[in-house]
Chains A and B, each alone.
Chain A
């Protein structure tokens, strides 16, 4: 090896570079992408680092191709990823669906900027949260993470690869421009301290193997191209063998499992970082860069004797439904802080189920939410004037 794949030590790097280092530490050796602000630095870092490690960096003609290419690489047995921002994320939706349907492990990092359309290329946004959830056609479940700092860009990229390999699907990292571009301390642990999960391989001979015959957890062991299993992979509705099956019953069976492997394992997948929740009267829920403003607001509230708490979503999808449901009858209200017109707040309202008020602190993009705005909203919810 010509260079170190895990750069153990303390670094002062931006979130995009930290994402690259996390990917390499997780075993990623393939990147296909297309330049786009504010995610370009991930591609640039990958184009420097991957060749050093014998991996492949390829710049594709567009994001449609980038997404298709990383799926192909994954079936070739190499951990792969791409990165983009809103406009490119829109183009990737088609092949994200192919990745979901064919159960292909890979990672997509979306460093969000203000939208719609070309929007605000250099300024922050969190407007792609519902697109991450529902952007490709048809019904499916996904896993999406949301880092709040360069350190979390590193940590969550490793987590994203591990979840994608474990559950066989494209996992999304829903970062944002501020987290991508801010430079902070990033601690890279020693290689042996980093948990790396690889896809489960078939344990039966080819004549007994079915590409989509799931184990008890709903996930099927995956044979790669060239392993001798002569697999057939299609985006058509398929049976356990992977062969097209054009009827309602087969479709029900396939989609049930695609959905079930996430829903039935959500307790193992969902991660939140909870602060001051035990006695909280007002609970702020937030993610990405907005969670840092929220943390500041909650600390300020505590200083003033207001019992505020924070749920920082590390997995934004699946949403921590049970946690919200259990808290809703006990609190005076929830607040969602996010940089869009109100997307994850819809999920928060659904889970709160009318048991308490739910407020929103937001802007449409271009600037982070100031902690003061969240503090004011906390006070209003507490007084019942929200």
Chain B
């Protein structure tokens, strides 16, 4: 005879108010770093105290892109690489909305690379959180613009013959006003950096080095998720306020983490308003009038 146990009620999660709980469980693999980053994003959003209806998330395609489907905010899961131009339109149409773009290294810097450099150049007032796991996780672990030279993926079984980007250096060179990098183990720093990035006017960028144990870790014999976390953490060296070109990103030598850029620069909208006012003194943006329609 067996005794039937009553199903255990799932205790509430502190972030439930920001989660589409009806969509759980999520699709991420056990040990994936994205959950940690998602949690940091949620905490940073909550800490701002902003009205959730004034914040929107836009993502591209890939594992990280799925965050947009789990957050209980206005959220947009767009096409591969195009999160930033989509977010650009949304931001300019609704400048009072705070915009967070979350996506992976492949989405933001391979297929979306052109959009990234121009969004940063224009200084669009958008916060970008990039989960860098060194490969395309969703499709089973292929070579990405982040894959370390010599690292194995399903499309570089003998080792990648390409040198990877240094995303923080790139973001800074393109004009980002805030640039930081952390590993997924440095949760408090990560959360605080995402918070600073959210408060920053202009194009802010936070890169997170995160384990992908199912694909990248497995093919490169990096051990369990925890071992990967520890490995990246062990390679990390905190060097804030250095020239971003010196913020080395090399998993064989060192992963320089910290906040590399925190500057002020007029945004696209600042310039747009100023230039229009210089020609038309009574110029004002359509907001909020345009919402009323004709």
Query: Which A residues are within 8 Å of any B CB, using their own CB?
Result: 2, 27, 29-30, 32, 51-56, 58, 60-62, 64-66, 68-78, 80, 94-95, 97-98, 191, 196, 198, 224-236, 243-244
B283 and A78 within 8 A (CB): no
Q: Which 3 residue pairs are nearest across A and B when measured between Cβ atoms?
A: A76-B93, A72-B89, A69-B89
Chain B contributes a number of interface residues (CB within 8 A of A) equal to 50
Which interface residue of B20, B73, B93 has the most chain A CB atoms within 10 A?
Answer: B93
B85 and A230 within 8 A (CB): no
**Residues of chain B lying within 8 A (CB to CB) of residue A72:** 58, 76, 85-91, 93
CA A94 to CA B280, docked complex, whole Å:
38
CA A232 to CA B85, docked complex, whole Å:
18
Q: Distance in Å from the Cβ of A221 to the closest Cβ of chain B?
A: 15
A68 with B79, Cβ < 8 A, contacts A54-B290, A73-B93, A232-B68 known: yes
Tell yes or no: B285 within 8 A of A by CB: yes
Tell yes or no: B198 within 8 A of A by CB: no
CA A53 to CA B285, docked complex, whole Å:
8
Task: Name A65's contact: one of B82, B90, B276 (CB within 8 Å).
Answer: B82
A51 and B276 within 8 A (CB): yes
CA A58 to CA B87, docked complex, whole Å:
13
B93 and A80 within 8 A (CB): yes
Closest to A2 in B: B280
Task: Name B283's contact: one of A2, A64, A75, A77 (CB within 8 Å).
Answer: A2
**Residues of chain A lying within 8 A (CB to CB) of residue B280:** 2, 51-52
Tell yes or no: B74 within 8 A of A by CB: yes
Give me 19 other A-B pairs in contact (C-beta within 8 A), A54-B285, A98-B78 excluded. Answer: A2-B282, A30-B89, A51-B272, A56-B92, A61-B118, A68-B89, A69-B86, A72-B89, A73-B89, A75-B90, A94-B79, A94-B82, A196-B293, A198-B293, A231-B74, A232-B75, A234-B69, A236-B77, A244-B77
CA A224 to CA B82, docked complex, whole Å:
20
Task: Name A232's contact: one of B69, B118, B287, B293 (CB within 8 Å).
Answer: B69
Closest to A198 in B: B293
**Residues of chain A lying within 8 A (CB to CB) of residue B115:** 61, 64-65, 68
Which interface residue of B74, B77, B88 has the most chain A CB atoms within 10 A?
Answer: B74
Q: Distance in Å from the Cβ of B204 to the closest Cβ of chain A?
A: 18
Closest to B279 in A: A51
A77 and B114 within 8 A (CB): no
**Residues of chain A lying within 8 A (CB to CB) of residue B97:** 76, 225-226
Which interface residue of A72, A97, A235 has the most chain B CB atoms within 10 A?
Answer: A72
CA A244 to CA B74, docked complex, whole Å:
15
**Residues of chain A lying within 8 A (CB to CB) of residue B286:** 29, 53-56, 78
A65 and B118 within 8 A (CB): yes
Task: Name A235's contact: one of B79, B284, B289 (CB within 8 Å).
Answer: B79
A71 and B54 within 8 A (CB): no
Closest to B121 in A: A61
**Residues of chain B lying within 8 A (CB to CB) of residue A76:** 89-94, 97
**Residues of chain A lying within 8 A (CB to CB) of residue B77:** 232-236, 244
A69 and B72 within 8 A (CB): no
**Residues of chain B lying within 8 A (CB to CB) of residue A227:** 53
B69 and A56 within 8 A (CB): no
Closest to A101 in B: B79
Q: Distance in Å from the Cβ of A211 to the closest Cβ of chain B?
A: 10
**Residues of chain B lying within 8 A (CB to CB) of residue A32:** 85, 88-89
A243 and B23 within 8 A (CB): yes
**Residues of chain A lying within 8 A (CB to CB) of residue B84:** 65
28 contacts across the A-B interface (CB closer than 8 A): A2-B283, A27-B293, A29-B286, A32-B85, A51-B283, A54-B285, A54-B286, A56-B92, A58-B92, A64-B82, A65-B88, A68-B78, A69-B85, A71-B86, A72-B86, A74-B89, A76-B90, A76-B94, A77-B93, A77-B291, A95-B82, A225-B94, A226-B96, A230-B72, A230-B73, A232-B68, A233-B76, A234-B69
Tell yes or no: B164 within 8 A of A by CB: no
CA A27 to CA B284, docked complex, whole Å:
17
Tell yes or no: B159 within 8 A of A by CB: no
Tell yes or no: B294 within 8 A of A by CB: yes
CA A76 to CA B272, docked complex, whole Å:
18
Tell yes or no: B40 within 8 A of A by CB: no
Of residues 252 through 290 on chain B, the ones whose CB sits less than 8 Å from some CB of chain A are 268, 272, 276, 280, 282-287, 289-290
B76 and A75 within 8 A (CB): yes
